[in-house]
């Protein structure tokens, strides 16, 4: 073993002690990473339901939080916040996405459609929304906007592609009827 690669216990203890001891009086404290990130705001332009919004956002802001907290579009629900339940489903660029897993800045320059944006200009319900009402498909109703958005993508003629015809068209929505069909307790 040569002298330059020798690492002693004394070196280890000195390194740990230096890291754990409070800073010396008068020495400048390094800014924390969180403080640096909080001060950095991006100007993001989002086109949501055919309206353009320029917003100063934290670079870590999710599309879901931006829609709900900054644009007050509360139809998109915050369920699990991990992409498991699908309650946060919106369309970005004509494709369904889980808005809790997407940063707002990733949607910049692409058309975003929420449950509030699928109704007709005259206020009439989208055909999928009407079908949910006509056939009492609401259950508790919390995930209904996300489930509706997932179905709208499949319903639209321009989205009828091979990928849209998946065996589980409801995506990740664990509905009551799926649970009972698979023998799981509700």
Residue boundaries of the structural domains of the chain: 35-181
What CATH number has the domain spanning 35-181?
Answer: 3.10.20.30
Of the pLDDT bands very low, low, confident and very high (cuts 50, 70, 90), residue 181 is very low
Binned at pLDDT 50, 70 and 90, residue 141 comes out as confident
In the numeric block, the tokens 């919390």 are attached to 142
pLDDT digits (tens, 9 = 90+) for 116-126: 999 888 989 98
What confidence score (pLDDT) does residue 153 get? 82
Q: In which residue are the tokens 């970005």 written?
A: 92
How high is the pLDDT of residue 106?
96
pLDDT at position 155 over 90: no
Residues 107, 95: contact at Cβ < 8 Å?
Answer: no
Helix 127-134 vs helix 144-155: crossing angle, to nearest 10: 130
Residues 6+ positions from 108 with CB-CB distance below 8 Å: 44, 45, 46
pTM over 0.75: no
Number of Cα atoms under 13 Å in the Cβ half of residue 85 = 16
Percent of the residues in the chain that have a pLDDT greater than 90, as a whole number? 41
Continuous segment of H or E residues that includes residue 19: helix 9-20
Confidence at residue 28, expressed as pLDDT on a 0 to 100 scale: 56
Higher pLDDT: 138 or 179? It is 138
Q: Supply the pLDDT for residue 140.
A: 82
Q: Looking at residue 103, what DSSP letter applies? A: B
Count of Cβ atoms closer than 10 Å to residue 186 Cβ? 8
Q: What is the pLDDT of residues 9-68, one digit of tens each?
A: 777 777 776 667 666 665 555 555 455 445 588 899 999 999 999 999 999 999 999 999
Whether 102 and 92 have beta carbons less than 8 Å apart is answered as yes
- What HEC string does 115-178 produce? HHHCCCCCCCCCHHHHHHHHCCCCCCCCCHHHHHHHHHHHHCHHHCCCCCCCCCCCCCCCCHHH
Q: Which residue has the higher pLDDT, 20 or 180?
A: 20
């Amino acid at each position: 073993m040569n002298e330059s690669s020798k690492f002693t216990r004394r070196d280890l203890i000195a390194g740990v002690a230096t890291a754990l001891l409070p800073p010396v009086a008068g020495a400048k404290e390094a800014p924390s990473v969180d403080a640096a990130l909080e001060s950095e705001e991006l100007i993001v332009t989002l086109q949501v339901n055919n309206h353009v919004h320029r917003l100063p956002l934290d670079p870590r802001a999710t599309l879901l939080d931006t829609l709900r907290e900054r644009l007050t579009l509360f139809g998109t629900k915050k369920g699990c916040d991990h992409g498991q339940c699908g309650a946060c489903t919106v369309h970005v660029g004509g494709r369904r996405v889980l808005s809790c897993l997407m940063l707002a800045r990733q949607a910049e320059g692409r058309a975003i459609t929420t449950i509030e944006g699928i109704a007709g200009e005259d206020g009439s319900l989208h055909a999928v929304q009407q079908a949910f009402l006509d056939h009492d498909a609401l259950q508790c109703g919390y995930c209904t906007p996300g489930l509706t958005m997932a179905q709208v993508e499949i319903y639209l003629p321009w989205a009828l592609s091979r990928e849209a015809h998946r065996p589980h068209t409801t995506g990740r929505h664990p509905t009551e009827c799926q649970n009972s069909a698979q023998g799981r307790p509700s």
